[in-house]
Chain A
Amino acid sequence: MPVTDPSPALQAAVEPDEAALAERFERTVAAEERIEPRDWMPEAYRKTLIRQIAQHAHSEIIGMQPEGNWITRAPSLRRKAILLAKVQDEAGHGLYLYSAAETLGVDRAELLDLLHAGRQKYSSIFNYPTPTWADVGAIGWLVDGAAIVNQVPITRCSYGPYARAMVRICKEESFHQRQGFEILHHLSSGTPEQHAMAQDAVDRWWWPSLMMFGPPDDASPNSARSMAWKIKRFSNDELRQRFVDMAVPQAEALGLTLPDPELRWDAESGHYRFGAIDWTEFHEVLRGNGPCNALRVEHRVRAHEEGAWVREAADAYAAKHAARAGAEVAA
């Protein structure tokens, strides 16, 4: 129940000044406690999170397209069911993440408009095409695999709603990775044509997967601040290395070759060493010149525009019924 407004003098006494708030924020973050939506936070922290969570949410929903491309053509009913469930999960991830972003004072419709206008990004990995069924396997194994490596540390992010969304998401991502591995395993040990299909997909997805961790540390300007705020826990290069160390033995188990002649075990460091990444390609795709950038955004925009009349109808219906309910209460 609202009561009478407190006097300005009383309000000033109740509200601590900004320096005190900032100090409390720093202490909370340093103590590994969570920042919650009602807590004070620096404007730059809020902006960074909105950008990152929105980009993450956009990646989930744009990421539905390359695999969704195979739902109608999945080669067995079991595979069709698994793929449907997987792509549906990604839509669910998008929903959790847009909700997490909304706790920071933006709304989903606004963020979608920015995506559609090309003013917010999504992971560049989804700008590569899926010409064969094996691409569904390669995406599950490598792309969801890389996503797990990227996202597990975010379960400890300083911002509560984002960290909690990530806990739910990571559980599902490990199922995604397993089904991708299983698809490739079946293909690799299947007919010669199936094996070749699997190898071809891995050849095409390996390098773009390594690029998913972002530019090398010395070229990643915003990383240090995100690390200080405990939004980010490990550097891009650390995460990339972790992914390579995980993927190489799995590739061996699959009986598939990773397309990097320089890939070798380094006993001294206890890590796999890998060849140089083609950052020119990365920046080209980022700039919009990947094979599917235009296609992905067009598909999204078309679904959104073709659905406008449906969303309007739902709003109009809700408004009419609220008005009728109000009239009944009044009468």
Chain B
Amino acid sequence: MSAPARVESSAPVDQPATGAGTTAATVQYLLRLGDDALVLAQRLGAQLTRAPQLEEDVALANIALDLLGQARPLLARAGELEGRGRDEDALAFLREERDFLNCQLVEQPDVDFAGTIARQLLFSCYQLPLLQALTTSADEVLAGVAGKGVKEVAYHRDHAVQWTLRLGDGTEESSRRMQAALDRLWPFAAELFESDDLVRSLAVRGVAVDPASVRPRWDADVDAVLAEAGLARPSSVRVATGGRRGLHTECFGYLLAEMQHLARSHPGATW
């Protein structure tokens, strides 16, 4: 399997991540990945009992469980490297909205099943090549999560592709809804591939993968599915951004309020 190219650099890719600056950057990077997985799991978990058929309740729960299973070790690792005594739960339940670093795509609400599938398609086509490249990360925990996640996300992507084909090439209504969902979510896709100094410096050290490097593969995969499904690639005018800096869409505060309420109501309690 050939991993997508990392950012060009003269530094050896397997150089261990050392130094306070790198550690702090790694924490941020782990939070970006962990929050993506956690927030998407939260959205999907809310769909359980609401799917169009029982098989989909099972499938969406599976995907949510996989993502939650990725989020937990990533957040735990972030807390460990941070060294301030925060575990996965402190990071999930006690951070403020401005401290969440997930992309805005994963927080977008489930308007209908087409929206759920479109969000899955856009995200899993990005996450799969990303995790494939991260299997050789210099951070062992990250490499481990990526290694396990590759198999899971290959299934997530296949699930999203199969439904995109069915909705795109199903009935007039399903095609219309699927196209509308893609049009609605497309502005949030660009953020997935945003690169900044933090991720570039970690990529040089072999810890991270520059998300920009997976864009060609994403474009090819998504275009192929849309073409087969008879759907048009939306021509995005607006490009949403900010998630990696803790800026979120308005719906996100409600997601956090719901997720965090009980844990915050009992400070110091364990469950």
Which residues of B in the span 117-175 have a Cβ within 8 Å of any Cβ on A? 165-167, 169-171, 173-174
A190-231 vs B: 1/0 string, CB under 8 Å?
110110000000000000000000000000000000000000
Per the 8 Å Cβ criterion, residues 13-72 of B in contact with A are 38, 42, 45-46, 48-58, 61-62, 64-65, 68-69, 71-72
Residues of A within 8 A of B112 (CB): 306
Complex partner residue of A77 from B55, B56, B68, CB under 8 angstroms: B68
Any chain B CB within 8 A of the CB of A73?
Answer: yes
Q: Is the interface of B mostly helix, strand, loop or mixed?
A: helix
Identify the closest chain B residue to A132 (Cβ): B262
Q: How far is the CB of B47 from chain A (nearest CB, A)?
A: 9
In the complex, which residue of chain B has the Cβ closest to the Cβ of A307? B52
Closest to B68 in A: A81
| Cα distance A306–B54 in the bound complex, in angstroms | 13
The tally of residues in A whose CB lies under 8 Å from a CB in B reads 48
Q: Is A117 on the interface with B (CB-CB < 8 A)?
A: no
Q: Is the CB of B89 within 8 A of A303?
A: no
- Whether, in the assembled complex, A168 has its beta carbon less than 8 Å from a beta carbon of chain B, the answer is no
| CA gap between A108 and B10 in the complex, in Å | 62
In the complex, the answer to whether A303 meets B52 with C-beta atoms within 8 Å is: yes
A133 to B58, CA, bound (A): 23
Nearest B residue to A63 by beta-carbon distance? Answer: B49
CA distance A189 to B45 in the complex (A): 29
Contact residues of B between 247 and 271, Cβ < 8 Å to A: 258-259, 261-263, 266, 268-271
Closest A residue, CB atoms, query B69: A81
B6 interface residue, CB < 8 Å from A?
Answer: no
The residue of chain B having its C-beta at the shortest distance from the C-beta of A304 within the complex is: B52
Query: Which residues of A (21-51) have their CB < 8 Å from a CB of B?
Result: none
Report which of B113, B165, B173 forms a contact with A317, defined as CB distance below 8 A.
Answer: B165
CA distance A190 to B38 in the complex (A): 27
* B58 contacts across to A, CB distance below 8 A: 88, 91-92, 95
- Tell me the smallest distance from the CB of A6 to a CB of chain B, in Å: 41
Q: Does A255 sit at the interface, judged by CB under 8 A?
A: no
User: When each residue 91-103 of chain A gets 1 if its CB lies under 8 Å from chain B and 0 otherwise, what string results?
Assistant: 1101100100000
Q: Of A61, A77, A309, which is in contact with the most chain B CB atoms at under 10 Å from its CB?
A: A77
Known contacts A75-B271, A76-B89; A61/B54 CB under 8 A: yes
Residues on A with C-beta less than 8 A from B49 are: 64-65, 68, 87, 299, 303
Q: Contact partner of B45 among A80, A133, A303, A316, CB < 8 A?
A: A80
Other-chain residue from A71, A73, A194, A311 in contact with B48 (beta carbon distance below 8 A): A71
Q: How far is B174's CA from A85's CA once the two chains are assembled, in angstroms?
A: 30
Given A77-B92, A312-B171, does the pair A85, B53 have CB atoms closer than 8 Å? no
Offer 13 A-B interface pairs, CB within 8 angstroms, sorted by A.
Answer: A64-B48, A68-B49, A72-B258, A73-B261, A77-B71, A77-B72, A87-B49, A88-B48, A299-B49, A306-B50, A307-B51, A311-B52, A314-B170
Interface residues of A (CB under 8 A from B): 61, 64-65, 68, 71-81, 84-85, 87-88, 91-92, 94-95, 98, 133, 183, 186-187, 190-191, 193-194, 299, 302-304, 306-314, 316-317, 320
Question: Which 5 pairs show the lowest CB-CB distances between chains A and B?
Answer: A307-B52, A313-B170, A313-B174, A88-B61, A310-B52
- Using A84-B48, A309-B177 as known contacts, list a sample of 20 further A-B pairs with CB atoms less than 8 Å apart, ordered by residue number in A: A64-B57, A65-B49, A72-B42, A77-B38, A77-B72, A78-B271, A84-B68, A88-B65, A133-B271, A190-B271, A194-B266, A303-B50, A303-B51, A303-B52, A306-B52, A308-B52, A310-B52, A313-B167, A313-B173, A313-B174
